[in-house]
Chain A
């Protein structure tokens, strides 16, 4: 059982380049999210999805796009990378939103924008 798989694990970009961070889960979870983690700031929500075809913005959505064409995949696109987007990115998924249903996290993508 792979859980939540993120690729790549590391990436270096130049300012202005675009790229897509991949996230896939094999648990048939409806809910998926992208967070970024910066020193001293914890994890902040970028975008989230409550099902295929449905996405919405989180706390820090600027500079990022998402789509959810299937239940399994939730890619995060950086259209024109900026140094401020240097961060560790986590994808997460959850089956439901009630009770003690926890988030399952991917292993993270460390992104550096030069």
Chain B
């Protein structure tokens, strides 16, 4: 079946460096993608989204890149801070209202 997955389960970066979290999806009909941040014991928090008619979208310190040719999504965090430490999930939607979530990448920011 269709799936959403992440290349790396954990990522450790130094404070101030840029972080890149990757996500692969398999459903070519996916037309909407979201990145969420989840801190321990809390609900996921929306970071940024992108529709399939775009290949790049920027927010505050974050950029999402979408490569539909290889079905790849990435989240770039500039100047990573300790508060960015969390689990990051990508999610995709292909039809209807349901989002399909990946397993998550744990980002650890070290001083």
Does B associate with A? Answer: no
B residues neighboring A (CB under 8 Å): none
A residues neighboring B (CB under 8 Å): none
